Amino acid sequence: MDLNITKLANLDAGKSKEFLSRVDSKLMMDISKSQIVENDEWIEMVEFTIPYIEKALTKGIKNIVTEEEIIKIELIKKVTVESVKHLSKNVNFVDKYNQRSGEVIPKKILNAYKEETFITYENRFLYTLIKLIEDYMYLREKDQENEYKGKNYQKANYQAEVKLRKEKVKVSLEYSAEANTGLKKSTETADRIQNIKKSIKMLKATETYQILASKRITLVKAPLKMTNVLLKNVNFQYAVKLWNYLSEQMEIKDKSIKMNKEYEEKGISKTLVDEDIYLMHLIFKNNNIENQLKGQKRSAIEDKKIRKELTDAMIEKIIELNPDLSDKELKKMIADKLIIMKTRKVISLKPVEERFKERIDKYMSQVKEVRLK
């Protein structure tokens, strides 16, 4: 970069080593960054419990229930004690009665039969728990989309003392920077939620869940009725723990916190600030900086100008010695000479070239001195 400070450093490059060796400095850093603390405990709980829920659904808790229905007498397969008791209490179902024989012929009769069913409290609890997990994931995913606003701070305190031969330099610097930042959550949580969704889909594919879903069962509500199965079956014990956890943690969200770090910097950052102090010393110490910097620029311009003047003088001398030379002949002469010189360079006349360059540089130096006088 074409910076004046770089040019200034090059002017007194030899003195920097002595100055920096005498610097006694201390750089203290204070950094504050916003950081998201994600609540992923619920993910671990769900991931851990899903296998137990799957076992409970696969085995399925069944109950034997007695189903009763009133049907036409022609459809009855077996007349049970319950059928006779029901008919005795509901004489309106009697169609004919023979007083001599005492035979009773009903129009309709109670048909009572026993049947296994998956619609138990325990299975309804598992069905409701799966719905609860889905609701909880929906809230966490919605919170996952939020971008947290934070601020990052950086402060530095620099104290230095330099004892030179005839002077003492003291420096005290304070640096402070503040930046607004948008914090996004890691993709790891989102990936784990997607895996849980796949597991939930497998739970919904079990026979028990399918039967419960088709019956549009009533969901279980808190507080849970702790049946013997919920208390003693291992699979249901873990399911109950997850139920209680999710119910209590439903409103908990991720949050943004500040992370502070204070320390003494002893590495490259401190070295760079020390060097910066040296440049500051040069700036305040030297009253003739502008002229020195201009002098460097002027010297380069003058070298270029002198070379142009010498070239013009050589061409004028050629024309003076050959007044009848045409433009075309002059160009050809210079071109031919250029080819010869390039050929000589290829053949390698390096010693001659170095000597010629030495003479030219010496001549240029003499010309410059004359111009300065």
- One pLDDT digit (tens) per residue for the chain, 373 residues: 555 666 666 655 567 777 888 889 999 999 887 666 667 788 899 999 999 999 999 887 765 545 567 878 777 777 777 777 877 788 787 777 777 777 777 888 877 656 677 788 999 999 999 999 999 888 887 766 656 566 778 899 999 998 887 788 898 989 888 877 655 656 777 888 899 999 999 999 999 999 999 988 889 998 999 999 999 999 999 999 999 999 888 766 655 566 788 889 988 888 888 888 888 887 777 655 555 545 555 555 555 665 666 676 677 666 766 777 777 777 777 777 777 766 655 555 555 556 656 656 665 565 455 444 4
111 contacts 69 by C-beta, under 8 angstroms: yes
The residue among 141, 132, 128 whose CA lies nearest residue 245 is 132
| pLDDT for the residue numbered 150 | 65
Instruction: Name the token pair of 142.
Output: 């919605």
Q: What residues contact residue 371 under an 8 Å CB cut-off, 6+ apart?
A: 302, 306
**Report field, pTM of the whole predicted structure over 0.75:** no
| pLDDT for the residue numbered 270 | 87
Helix (H) / strand (E) element for 147: namely: none
Tokens 């060097």 correspond to 275
The SS3 assignment for 320 reads helix
| pLDDT for the residue numbered 360 | 61
Alpha helices by DSSP H, listed for the chain, are 4-11, 13-21, 41-59, 81-89, 121-144, 187-204, 207-214, 228-232, 234-248, 268-285, 289-321, 327-347, 350-372
| pLDDT for the residue numbered 372 | 47
DSSP for 194-244, written as a single string: HHHHHHHHHHHTSHHHHHHHHTTPPPP-SSP---HHHHH-HHHHHHHHHHH
Backbone angles phi, psi at 20, to 5 degrees: -65, -30
Distance, in Å, from the CA atom of 148 to the CA atom of 186, rounded to the nearest integer, reads 12
